Structure 1
Amino acid sequence: MRPALHFTATSGWINDPHGVTYRDGQYHAFYQYVPGQTVWGPNCHWGHAAGPDLLSLRELPVAIVPGDGDDGIWTGCVVTDDEDNTRAFYTSTTTPDFGIGRIRVATPVDDDWLAWSKDEFVVEAPADLDLIAYRDPFVRREETGWRMFVGGALRDGTAVALSYISDDLQHWTYSGIALQRSTAETEPVWMGALWECPQILSIDGRAIMVSSIWDNDVLHYAGYAVGSYNDGRFVADNWGRLTFGDSYYAPSLFSDSEGRPCLLFWMRGIADEQAEWASAHSIPYLLSLDDDRLVASVHPDVEKHRGGRAESVRVEGTAADVVWSDGEGGELTIASTEAVVSILWKPGEATVVERTAHALNTTCSVPVSGAVRVVIDGPILELSSAGGLLGLPTDLGGTSLQIAADRGDVELFALS
């Protein structure tokens, strides 16, 4: 079953979203794409989709393909300067040793960004660091020019975000390690041995680094640091975990149509092997800070896809938006002809349990604070509150959903 609102490719494998850009009234989203198969492979392409919001994306021709010195076109970012010149910075990999990539530039050859021309390699891994992984450039503008961060892993188990500076987006100078943490450190949260896609932003005068947490070829979750940043150096005051469950990975930072900081995730475990497609992208999330805690809230664009508030516990179709205000414990049940999902809320935590006719399929938990928001879209469930995010595949299917809680207030809307 294919979700109605979450982006999936017509066929093939997708993962990391990146280069999400709002321009001329629509969003462009790029992503790692492996055509012709439903499992990941190192020969990634840059897929491309666009639409008026991130729940209305249409798939476009592949933007950048392997060849000309690239065996794989891996994650990167898209930047437009003051003269409206656009560049894609991506990780160029070669097999079989694709752990250490190189950063290369491509430029669009048309106004719709449908075709791209590859340019030179602009950044390589520093020779004086004992790196076992190096990839995922993120470029942002700073007061003195441009700054690039690249994720890395040192052989001793230290995750690093490496820093580069440029005046013209073409010539880059390595300026050291912006932030690092050992995989041996576990409190208040473990941050892995490699940061994939490390991205640094500012909210309310505080600096935030958000990243994917990787260790020994295992993909874990999205984590973050909150602290201060100055001239290429980040000092962390607090570390936190943003996502829970086994689905969310590869958070991609972007600015929405109003310039607000947002994230989009790759969602694992969503697939239809018979239809020959695998993986999806999440709904967009708006970022804010609550003291030293990073909060991701459902983006207002989701509400544009709501119908009127449901007057009963039943919604037609398999896409719904639920706001559950409780806080004292209770159970929210989402039922279809194929499965029943129960969300068990006790103070500070929600646990999601899915049952089908055959078995108990899924049990996972997430910290909660304040109201709980649940977005269901066919085979995808996303649960969010100020305490964190939980995304997971489900077996919900059929033609309608029955949604009710034994306690608290529930607002229920069909989505389309």
Structure 2
Amino acid sequence: MDTAAHHPDPAFPRFHPRPAQGWINDPNGLSYADGRYHVFFQYNPDSARHEGICWGHLSSTDLVRWDEEPVALKPQPGGPDALGCWSGVVTDDGGVPTAVYSGVDTVGGHSRVVLARADAALRSWTQKGHVAAEVPPDPQVTAVRDPFLFSFQGRRFALQGAGLASGHAAVLLYSVEDLRDWRYEGIWFSSEDPLAARHLPAEIWECPQLVRLPDSSGAETWVLMASLWLGTDEHDHPNGVGYLLGSLADNGSGLPVFTPASGGKADLGREFYAPQLLALPDRTLLWGWSGEAEDSEDRPGRSQAEIDDAGWAGILTFPRQLSVHGGVLAVEPVPELRAYRGDRLRHGAAGTFTVPAEAEIRVAGGEGTLRLVLVAAGQRRTVFADTVAGGDELRIFLDASIVEVYRHGTVPTTLRAYPGPGEEWQLELPHGAAADVWELRQPERPDVSL
């Protein structure tokens, strides 16, 4: 994609691919087929607001060079998705790529599970408004959304996020022998569980994900991840995203039971929400949504008027790779991102120094506080600060207005910041820490004519 190179807004990312204009939020339909990764996402091409949501589409062969594809799904007048095609997944249904998503047709109404079919290249979609699951006839369920499919012991199941009349958040379970007609099995797991109440506090669990993760101990470990929605949320989600690690077992009648053992946050930043996981044979990948930071006294951001003037909102994070080490979730940037490294500007740098607006920084060693700040005319504002000790290793990516900080062996931090006129980035390292800094650059595309 070359939309970023000449974009008029200096806050527009150059290396996190997205359309030049419009609103984006949740990544959806993550797929890998015929050597190509596909990332769909909620998308309004007409304005920088969450309205008339479609599914946008990006694809890549290498997770580095991305192509913008035609819009995949659009609201269908008179259909179950007339007011929006919301979050969901893409699956293979008898050899036919199929989107399984939340369709909305009433303001403030419940979503239903809607299906759409695609060609083998996932570029041409047919929407007939087929509803695979209605809102469950369960008086305890007050909200439902965001289907996710998984397999257990050779059978296909689905989850949906939910809110309950009791005030608890939950996931609902479905048996899916026929993708066109789901069987509701009931409330599967909720925040009544003590570990869930601690690590996944919410009124609704949005975008639930359940996949088996590589575990260095050899255990069969599953992660249940959910985005933590509160009634006071608009498009700002202070509770973020939580996860539980645990096991799946048969309840004796063929249905899975999840038993959590530990948990935590999937990302420590405030601008991270609604991630989706892609389980591949050799690894599990994740993309998340980073929304625009709202302007406030304690956190400089953008007003709605500024967002409207810019004409775009929302960024998808870089792809991340998940595993379990020592009973905790470890999240790293995918190795492919090294292809963005251009000139190495600093090697073994110490103290305080400037870094470019598009950069990768690797920090090792040291004891004390590391700070990433914006500086202009003697004024400083801290964007990120954390304590490093001993063998800690951090990788920091700067791309215009998004900052991703990865700490080896644990979870990252995603932040948004908008450098003003004359502001430059500075990194302040504690005693004993050293940093390498690379300028980011777009790798050349291979010459397919050869």
For the residues of structure 1 that align with 2:74 and 2:309, how far apart are their CA atoms? 26
Amino acid at match of 1:267: S
- Residue number among 38, 47, 54 corresponding to 1:45 in the alignment: 54
1:10-409 matches, within 5 Å, as 10-41=20-51, 43-67=52-76, 68-70=79-81, 71-81=83-93, 83-98=94-109, 100-109=110-119, 111-182=121-192, 188-203=198-213, 204=215, 205-218=220-233, 219=237, 220-230=239-249, 231-255=255-279, 259-269=282-292, 272-311=307-346, 318-326=357-365, 328-333=367-372, 341=382, 343-346=384-387, 370-385=392-407, 386-396=409-419, 403=427, 405-407=429-431, 408-409=433-434
Instruction: Please name the residue that 1:353 is paired with.
Output: none
**CA gap 1:140/1:401 in 2 versus in 1, 3 angstroms:** same
User: Which position in structure 2 is the counterpart of 1:410?
Assistant: 435
Check whether the contact 2:64–2:339 (CA below 8 A) recurs between aligned residues. no
Query: Deviation at 1:58?
Result: 2.6
Distance 1:188 1:154, change over 3 A: closer
Would you say the 8 A contact 1:107–1:119 is kept in 2? no
In structure 2, the CA distance between the partners of 1:186 and 1:88, relative to structure 1 (3 Å rule), is closer
How far off its partner does 1:13 sit? 0.8
CA deviation digits over 1:332-386, x for unaligned, max 9?
Answer: 44657797656443258xxxxxxxxxxxxxxxxxxx9931221111111111223
CA gap of 1:308–1:212, structure 2 versus 1, over 3 A, is same
Partner of residue 447, structure 2: none
Quote the RMSD (CA, aligned, Å): 2.9
SS state at 2:124 partner: coil
CA contact (8 A) 1:337 1:396 kept: no
**Equivalent-residue separation in structure 2 for 1:37 and 1:130 (angstroms):** 37
Please identify which structure carries the higher strand content.
1
Are the aligned partners of 1:157 and 1:183 in contact in 2 as well (CA < 8 Å)? Answer: no
Structure 1, unaligned runs of 5 or more: 349-367
CA shift in 2, pair 1:294/1:169, >3 Å: same
For residue 123 of structure 2, give the secondary structure of its aligned residue in structure 1.
coil
Q: Which ranges of structure 2 fall in alignment gaps of 5 or more residues?
A: 1-9, 250-254, 294-301, 442-450
Against the structure 1 CA distance between its residues 188 and 260, is the aligned structure 2 distance closer, same or farther, given a 3 Å change threshold?
same
- For residue 173 of structure 1, report the CA deviation from its aligned partner: 1.4
The answer on whether the counterparts of 1:179 and 1:235 sit within 8 Å (CA) in structure 2 is no
Query: Partner of 1:64: helix, strand, or coil?
Result: coil
- Work out whether residues 221 and 243 of structure 1, in 8 Å CA contact, stay in contact via their aligned partners in 2: yes
Q: CA deviation at 1:149?
A: 0.7
Distance 1:282 1:297 in 2: 12
1:104 is displaced (CA, Å) by: 0.9
Q: Which amino acid aligns with 1:19?
A: G
Residue identity matched to 2:439 = A
> Contact between 1:269 and 1:392, CA under 8 Å: does it hold in 2?
no
Q: Is the 8 A contact 1:227 1:235 kept in 2?
A: yes
Counterpart AA for 2:416: P
1: CA distance between counterparts of 2:366 and 2:91? 42
The amino acid of 1:242's aligned partner reads A
Tell whether the 8 Å contact from 1:30 to 1:49 is kept in structure 2 after alignment: yes
Aligned amino acid, residue 330 of structure 1: T
C-alpha distance in 2 between matches for 1:178 and 1:214? 18
C-alpha distance in 2 between matches for 1:9 and 1:182? 41
Deviation per CA, 1:163-200, whole angstroms, max 9, x where unpaired? 11123423321222332114998864352121101111
Q: Is the alpha carbon distance of 1:292 and 1:124 closer, same or farther for their aligned partners in structure 2, counting shifts above 3 Å? A: farther
> Is the CA contact 2:395–2:405 (under 8 Å) kept in the aligned structure 1?
yes
Q: Is the 8 A contact 1:146 1:168 kept in 2?
A: no
Tell me if the contact between 1:333 and 1:342 (Cα under 8 Å) persists in the aligned partners.
Answer: yes
Task: Give the count of matched residue pairs.
Answer: 393
Q: Structure 1 stretch 283-292 or stretch 399-408: which is displaced more?
A: 399-408
1:187–1:58 distance in 2 versus 1, CA, 3 Å: same
**SS of match in other structure, 1:303:** helix
Equivalent residue letter for 1:318: A
Relative to structure 1, the CA distance from residue 401 to residue 216 in structure 2 (aligned partners, 3 Å threshold; closer, same or farther) is closer
What is the TM-score when the length of structure 1 is the normalising length? 0.85
- Counterpart CA distance in 2 for 1:267 and 1:21 is 20
For residues 236 and 129 of structure 1, do their structure 2 counterparts lie closer, same or farther at Cα, with a shift above 3 Å needed? farther
Distance change >3 Å, CA 35–CA 342, structure 1 → 2: closer
Could you tell me the TM-score, scaled by structure 2's length?
A: 0.79
**Conserved in 2, the CA contact under 8 Å of 1:334 and 1:402?**
yes
| Aligned 8 A contact 1:373 1:384 in 2 | yes
- Output the amino acid matched with 1:87: T
Q: Sequence identity of aligned pairs in percent?
A: 27
TM-aligned CA distance change 1:229 to 1:211, over 3 Å = same
Partner amino acid, structure 1, of 2:241: A
What SS is found at the alignment partner of 1:56? coil
1:365 paired residue number: none
Q: SS at 2:138's partner residue?
A: coil
